[in-house]
Copies of this chain bind each other. A is one copy, B any other.
Amino acid sequence: MAVGEFELIEEYFRQGGAALGVTLGIGDDCALLDIPAGRQLAVSMDTLVGGIHFPKNADPELIAERALRVNLSDLAAMGAEPLWFTLGLTLPEADKLWIKSFSQGLFRVANEYNITLVGGDTTKGPLAMTIQVHGAVEPDKALLRSGAEAGDLIFTTGCVGDGAGALAVIKQELEVGKSAFNYFMQHYYRPEPQVSAGCLLAGLASSAIDISDGLMADLGHICTESGVGAELKLERLPLSDPLKKLVPREKAFEWALAGGDDYQLCFTVPKRQLPRLEQLTDQHKFEAHLVGEMVQGSGIACFHNGEFVAVDSHGYQHF
């Protein structure tokens, strides 16, 4: 079913109604946008390729959900409030049913996180999508990778290792029951970007990153950019019950450390800020699991109940 680009945009990608700061949305050479007064613009772009980042025959509704959620995770990691996104969508053919389903998933997430589609491009070619998210953050409050200091405590906002577990389940490397299968599929396609945690941590955490390439790799970026090292306590890593049931403890640690696609935040907090952090977690604003401490030096050392453990530090490598 071949239809024109403009028709597709009209039919499936124009949202009604006015949105914050959008003077002009889809339909001209550019979108025209107003940043809230006194805020900085935070932008991040991610490309997902069919057959590489998701199975080509996956449900388009789920692909869309995952693509936007993964991008929102980068805004979360910056402590930025979501505003707008753009979508570059490349499809082998203009399959209306596929596009309809894709747009439903996309707008479900967009509405959930209050982010507006303002432009993009649809082209013919191998299945892929590039999303750019735009958010607002107060100057000097953005969560950088470079702000951690020795003595700061390291936290994650939730369980790690489920991303790697989900991939093993999807690839059918492990047999699981229906409930575990659903849990991991849900995690894989509908990860929960920690947007509200990120916004609350802005100005409180000394650094943050979202765990997309694996805890070791991503915490490693904080170490490098901050010029400090880190010590992780493996027994403290938050592991989900389905993951603990799925594989032996050692494998779960491996996935928690070197897997990817967790989309929790890893963040550091100076000890003097702990009362504020505890206040937020006591109010159930978000979870904060203490997993280690930043130290003088460089690199990450892992300990299990006080004993040093050698761990392969490679996260997911893009090439």
Contact = CB atoms under 8 A, between A and B. Distances in A.
Interface of A: 2-5, 8, 23-24, 27-35, 40-53, 74-75, 77-78, 80, 86-90, 93-94, 118-126, 128, 130, 132, 134-135, 137, 139, 142-146, 208-210, 225, 317-319
Given A8-B319, A23-B139, A52-B123, 14 more contacts: A3-B319, A30-B44, A30-B80, A32-B41, A33-B42, A41-B41, A43-B118, A48-B123, A49-B124, A86-B132, A93-B319, A121-B130, A126-B128, A128-B128
A319 B95 CA distance: 10
A32 B137 contact: yes
A90 B46 CA distance: 11
B30 A124 contact: no
A125 B128 contact: yes
A124 B316 CA distance: 13
A74 B30 contact: yes
A318 B123 contact: yes
Contact of A42 (B32, B134, B144, B319): B32
How many monomers of this chain does the complex have? 2
Contacts of A208: 29
Contact of A29 (B5, B78, B118, B134): B78
A33 B24 contact: no
Given A5-B318, A24-B142, A128-B128, A30 B135 contact: yes
A21 to B, nearest CB: 9
A132 B132 contact: yes
A126 B125 contact: yes
A78 B47 contact: no
Contacts of A44: 29-31, 119
A34 B24 contact: no
22 contacts: A2-B319, A4-B317, A28-B225, A29-B44, A29-B208, A30-B44, A30-B77, A32-B41, A33-B40, A35-B41, A43-B118, A45-B86, A45-B119, A45-B132, A47-B125, A47-B130, A52-B123, A88-B130, A122-B318, A122-B319, A123-B318, A125-B126
Contacts of A45: 86-88, 119-121, 130, 132
A90 to B, nearest CB: 6
B94 A319 contact: yes
B49 A43 contact: no
B145 A29 contact: yes
Contact of A210 (B29, B126, B134, B135): B29
Contacts of A74: 29-30
Query: When A and B form their complex, which 8 residue pairs have the shortest distance between CB atoms, in order from nearest?
Result: A49-B125, A5-B318, A29-B77, A130-B130, A30-B42, A126-B126, A88-B130, A94-B319
